[in-house]
Structure 1
Amino acid sequence: MNQLELANAIAQELQIGGYDADRFLKVTLEKIISVVTSNQPVELQGFGTFAMRPNAPRTGTSPATGEPFNIPARWSASFKIDKAFKERVEAVPLDTSSPSVTPVAVSDIIAPGDKPYYFTVQFSDDIGIKASTIGGKNSELGELDVRVTGPNGFNQLARATRTKATADKKGRIVTYAVGAPGGVWDFTANGQYQIDLLEA
């Protein structure tokens, strides 16, 4: 849920206009930021506490050169979850079932060429799917979790190139790409191909 969706949900719950709900939300967030950056905590009962905390100066190491460098003292924002909020989070049952997978757009290649072949797959779940997990275990979009096999020993891991949420926001529609066998789609690549989802 993004800020606009949250404002719309508030408007529906309070039976007020969307503009008023959006403005209420923006003013609330800005006030929290204003108070916290004046070094005063904001305590919201049943939710948590926003505050600033100081970080002492320290020495870091450059990942490029391995050379040490000084990191000056600075402030950082912190949030401590309220006990009631934490208990509600911990009470949510874990989703241990795998999502279902359905090909959405798989078409024939009717002309020779060397461009990748794109196909679309829909991941569905009754609770929801974390977008960053698409593409392989604990990986971001672009990693490999779908294998395509076909004639003449074709065996290639497809690369996820784009993802978008389904209408109910619980699933994901993902576009994958595979390269042409031998660098070109021609008559030698004719045949039936199979798409398999790899286990996490």
Structure 2
Amino acid sequence: MNKTEFINAVAEKSGLSKVDTKKAVEAFIQTVSTEVKKGGKVAILGFGSFSIVEKSARKGVNPKTKQPIEIPARKAVKFKAGAELAELVK
């Protein structure tokens, strides 16, 4: 499901117009992105939580040349499914 299909599905289930649903979905994405970028955590009860994790530097291998390389430390976004969502997937 892409973003347009998601917006159409939410509009259909909520009874909102597609324009209003698009604004709401984009506001949700922007709010989560802003909070996570600041280092915060967004937890939606029953759905899941978005947070930042620190990935430490490590050694790797270039698959093309087989030469060892150093992979730098970085931050990554993590999503952990909530109990209700995890139960639905089982």
TM-score of the superposition, structure 2-length normalised? 0.92
Between Structure 1 and Structure 2, the one with more helix by share is 2
**Match for residue 42 of structure 1?**
42
Q: Residues 127-164 of structure 1: CA distance to partner in whole angstroms, max 9, x if unpaired?
A: xxxxxxxxxxxxxxxxxxxxxxxxxxxxxxxxxxxxxx
Two-structure CA RMSD over aligned residues (Å)? 1.0
User: CA shift at 1:9, angstroms?
Assistant: 1.8
**Match for residue 3 of structure 1?**
3
Q: Which moved more, 1:32-41 or 1:7-16?
A: 7-16
* Structure 1 unaligned regions, length at least 5: 91-200
Q: Residues 98-118 of structure 1: CA distance to partner in whole angstroms, max 9, x if unpaired?
A: xxxxxxxxxxxxxxxxxxxxx
**Match for residue 67 of structure 1?**
67
Q: How does 1:108-187 map to 2 (within 5 A)?
A: none
Q: Distance in 2 between matches of 1:89 and 1:50?
A: 18
| Identity over aligned pairs, percent | 29
**Match for residue 29 of structure 1?**
29
Equivalenced residue count is 90
TM-score of the superposition, structure 1-length normalised? 0.43
User: CA shift at 1:57, angstroms?
Assistant: 0.6
User: CA shift at 1:20, angstroms?
Assistant: 0.8
Q: Distance in 1 between matches of 2:65 and 2:5?
A: 45
**The structure with more radius of gyration:** 1
Segments ≥4 residues shifted beyond 6 Å: none
Q: Distance in 1 between matches of 2:43 and 2:87?
A: 17
Q: Residues 168-194 of structure 1: CA distance to partner in whole angstroms, max 9, x if unpaired?
A: xxxxxxxxxxxxxxxxxxxxxxxxxxx
Q: Which has the higher contact order (CA 8 A, sep 6+)?
A: 2
